[in-house]
Amino acid sequence: MKMKYWKKLTVAEQDARITEALSQNIDYKQKISLGVPASRLDTTVFYEQAPFLKDAPLLRTYVQNPNHIGCHTLGDSEDFFKGTQELEREVIELLAVDVLKAKPHTCDGYVAAGGTEANIQAAWIYRNYFEQEHNASYNEIALLGSEDTHYSIAKASNLLHLKWYSVSVDDNTREIIPAELDKTLEQAKAEGIKYFIVISNMATTMFGSVDNPDVYVAHLQKHNLPFKLHLDGAFGGFIYPTAHPESTVNFANPHVSSVTLDAHKMLQAPYGTGIFISRKGLINYVYTKEAQYVNGMDITLSGSRSGANAVAIWMILMTYGPHGWFEKINKLLYRTDWLCKQLDELGFSYYRYPNMNIVTTRAKHIPATIAHQFGLVPDTHDGNPNWYKIVVMDHVEVEHLDEFLNEVRA
Ligand SMILES: Cc1ncc(COP(=O)(O)O)c(C=O)c1O
């Protein structure tokens, strides 16, 4: 585990770094600022002199309320918030290089509202890329992914006026069926599609299964079809790379152009911490030249967005460091292994991707009342689920799993 940037920092070191960053942002009390439609949080409600703020750099960031509008990994940015923008840049570069195996300084990115926004941002970039570089019309460009792909791609399809082709997976392995992929590509070609935006899962929502992006690559190349490939690591982004350090389902694969990671899932960051990262030279395809009152390039789907979210991600990464994070993930995997062993003894059929923390059991093994009582999530809410999933998060302890299993056995 050789890291270029990621290291553990003490609470005092983090505080000093964030305090320094906040001091470089605009201080509305010290500097007359007549034009920005922004200010610190309302001091009548969010009392600035609260004594606990002194020891809570994240809360101080919330009170200062930096706006990270735009993207800070390229071009100019609003000068008012340059201190905390630097922390966001550090987060993006660290994740691109130390987690996703990109070469240093080869990626752009920003902290989005969530995985949905990051996935739509990717689709938007590639739609414009094919339009601008290949003169493609929207009805010649399609989204492509497996049937287990998150529904945010259906939203992207609707918003961007792109057709969405979903490929069947094997019911047991959750792997893309190559013959089905071929059939889908033949059908899409017959319907006039010439360019593909592939969404390859780095852990699906329901199964935690990870697609092999090279299956898409091989078939698209066989059909001579141009494509761009995005990895949806909204769920898996903070567990799969740690649990599978040898993997090339990341920027080590030259066909991977961009990645979504959600810090508000496995990293337990506050909501509003989706992360979009792409190779340099791509995000420019969504440049909104009309955004002239903003200093810098507006190339993000979000406009205004809280800088405190980037600081929260930065703090979590620095608190654990890579080794602490490895230990935390392995604790979850230990619990998941324990659960699977019990399910094996019960003779239940279930799906688990190796070294991941989602276990999805066939619904026939679990009475609906027990599933409901223990908060298992069904694959459908129409009353006839095929599967129930257990996600072994930080709060899911062996004692809880044991209680659930005892209920099932009884
Ligand atoms: C694989 C995957 N992609 C995208 C999303 C959407 O993320 P968000 O809810 O942060 O928009 C999710 C959410 O569960 C997901 O599991």
Find the 153 Cα to ligand 1 centroid distance in Å.
Answer: 10
Q: Same domain for 153 and 265?
A: yes
The DSSP symbol for 100 reads T
Instruction: Please give the pLDDT value at position 1.
Output: 67
Instruction: Please give the pLDDT value at position 111.
Output: 98
Total domains in the fold of the chain: 2
Please state, in angstroms and rounded to a whole number, the distance separating the CA atoms of residues 288 and 282: 14
Q: Could you tell me the residue range of the domain that residue 373 belongs to?
A: 322-409
Sign of the Cα torsion 190, 191, 194, 199 reads negative
The atom of ligand 1 lying closest to the CA of 115 is 7
Residues 240, 247 contacting (CB under 8 angstroms): yes
Instruction: Please give the pLDDT value at position 184.
Output: 98
Find the 150 Cα to ligand 1 centroid distance in Å.
Answer: 6
- Domain of 161, CATH number, reads 3.40.640.10
Instruction: Please give the pLDDT value at position 169.
Output: 98
Contacts of 259 (CB under 8 A, 6+ apart): 100, 202, 230, 231, 233, 237, 250, 251, 276, 277, 278
Instruction: Please give the pLDDT value at position 32.
Output: 82
Please state, as a whole number, how many other Cβ atoms lie within 10 Å of the Cβ of residue 347: 7
Residue 305, both tokens: 């967005």
Indicate the top mutation candidate among 148, 235, 239 to test ligand 1's pocket, ranked by most ligand atoms within 8 A of CB: 235
Q: Same domain for 287 and 387?
A: no
Last residue of a domain, one of 253, 277, 304: 304
Find the 114 Cα to ligand 1 centroid distance in Å.
Answer: 7
**Considering only CA atoms, which residue is closest to atom 7 of ligand 1?**
115
Please state, in angstroms and rounded to a whole number, the distance separating the CA atoms of residues 135 and 130: 7
Q: Same domain for 250 and 343?
A: no
Tens digit of each residue's pLDDT (9 = 90 or more) over 121-173: 999 999 999 999 999 999 999 999 999 999 999 999 999 999 999 999 999 99
The atom of ligand 1 lying closest to the CA of 262 is 10
Instruction: Please give the pLDDT value at position 371.
Output: 96
Residues 169, 146 contacting (CB under 8 angstroms): yes
Residue numbers in the chain where pLDDT is lower than 50: none
pTM score, two decimals? 0.96
Instruction: Please give the pLDDT value at position 400.
Output: 98
Please state, in angstroms and rounded to a whole number, the distance separating the CA atoms of residues 45 and 77: 30
Whether residue 299 lies inside any domain: the answer is: yes
Last residue of a domain, one of 273, 304, 335: 304
Find the 377 Cα to ligand 1 centroid distance in Å.
Answer: 15
- Domain of 332, CATH number, reads 3.90.1150.10
The atom of ligand 1 lying closest to the CA of 235 is 16
**Considering only CA atoms, which residue is closest to atom 5 of ligand 1?**
115
Indicate the top mutation candidate among 205, 206, 209, 231 to test ligand 1's pocket, ranked by most ligand atoms within 8 A of CB: 205
**Considering only CA atoms, which residue is closest to atom 4 of ligand 1?**
115
Whether residue 39 lies inside any domain: the answer is: no
**Considering only CA atoms, which residue is closest to atom 8 of ligand 1?**
115
Q: Is 407 helix (H, G, I), strand (E, B) or coil?
A: helix
Find the 410 Cα to ligand 1 centroid distance in Å.
Answer: 35
- Lining residues, ligand 1, CB within 6 Å: 114-116, 119, 150, 152, 204-205, 232, 234-235, 262, 274
Q: State which amino acid sits at residue 356.
A: M
Residue-wise burial string across 196-220, b where 16 or more C-beta atoms lie within 10 A, e elsewhere? bbbbbbbbbbbbbbbbebebbbebb
